[in-house]
Amino acid sequence: MNRIAICGEPLFNGEELNTHHIVPVAQGGRDDIENLQHLHHACHKQEHSKSKSTRLK
């Protein structure tokens, strides 16, 4: 069963899913399958908020 690394929950647990760029497009990431992952909406928001706090340091 596929699980989300961020929360440890199964990918298909009824939550809304978002497609996330592992390497952001703004940093040269592409829309290739190798650079995309599915995340729960809440995990996607968490991943982006983590990136913002890292950029502020």
The total number of structural domains that make up the chain: 1
In-domain check, residue 39: yes
Contact 33, 18 (CB under 8 A): no
In-domain check, residue 40: yes
User: Closest by alpha carbon to 23, among 10, 40, 36?
Assistant: 36
Cα gap 5→29, rounded to integer Å: 20
In-domain check, residue 43: yes
pLDDT in tens, 10-55: 999 999 999 999 999 999 999 999 999 999 999 999 998 986 655 5
Cα radius of gyration rounded to whole Å, the chain: 12
Q: What's the predicted TM-score (pTM) here?
A: 0.79
Q: What is the pLDDT of residue 51?
A: 60
Write out the residue range of the structural domain in which residue 43 sits.
17-56
In-domain check, residue 2: no
In-domain check, residue 11: no
In-domain check, residue 24: yes
